[in-house]
Amino acid sequence: MGFNATVVVMVDALHDIKDDPKFGANLAAAIMRLSVVPYGTHIDVAAGNHGNAATVIESHHADGVSVVLVGGNSGFDVGHVGGYRRLSMDKEDRRMILRAFADQLGFDVAIKEPAIKDRRSVTKWEK
C-alpha cells in the first residue's frame, strides 16, 4: 500500500508556497530525509519568507494508523498502531484504534454510561 506522511502546512504561508517553484521538490526531500533522522524530529520546509511554511511531522506505512497532535504551527507523533486491516473509520474502528493507543501509553479506556437524554430532569434548579 505504500507510505503516508503527515505534514502541517502554515496557511499564512500559502501565498509564498504558491509562488515557490522549488517547494514541491523541497517538501519531497524533507519527507524522504525524515526516514533517516531520530524519531520525533520535525523537518521544516521553507517557502518565501517563511522558514516553516510546512513541517514534516512523521511518516508511516499505510497499513497502520498514526495519531498526531497538531498545534502551535507544528505537531507531535503520539504513536502508531500497525497491522493490515482495511479500516472504515466508523465508530467501532475509532474505538479499536483509541484502545490500542491507550494501551501503548499504559491507559485503559472504558465507555461511559449512556448519556441522559433529558438533562432537565436531573438539574438542581428544577427540584
Query: Looking at the predicted structure, is the pLDDT value of residue 21 above 90?
Result: yes
Query: Looking at the predicted structure, is the pLDDT value of residue 125 above 50?
Result: no
Backbone dihedral region for residue 110 (phi beyond 0: left; psi -120 to 50: alpha; all else: beta): beta
How far from each other are the two terminal CA atoms of the chain, in whole angstroms?
A: 59
**Burial class for 119, CB neighbours closer than 10 Å (0-12, 13-18, 19+):** exposed
The 10s digit of each residue's pLDDT in 54-67 is 999 999 888 888 88
| pTM (two decimals) | 0.77
φ/ψ of 52, rounded to 5, equals: -130, 55
Q: Which residue has the higher pLDDT, 85 or 32?
A: 32
Cell 484502545: give the residue.
Answer: 99
Query: Looking at the predicted structure, is the pLDDT value of residue 126 above 50?
Result: no
Helix, strand, coil share (%) of the chain residues, nearest 5: 35, 30, 35
Mean pLDDT, the chain, integer: 85
CA 32, CA 51: separation in Å to the nearest integer?
19
Domain borders along the chain are 3-80
What's the pLDDT at 8?
A: 97
The pLDDT confidence band at residue 79, using thresholds 50, 70 and 90, is: confident
Residue 39 is which amino acid? Y
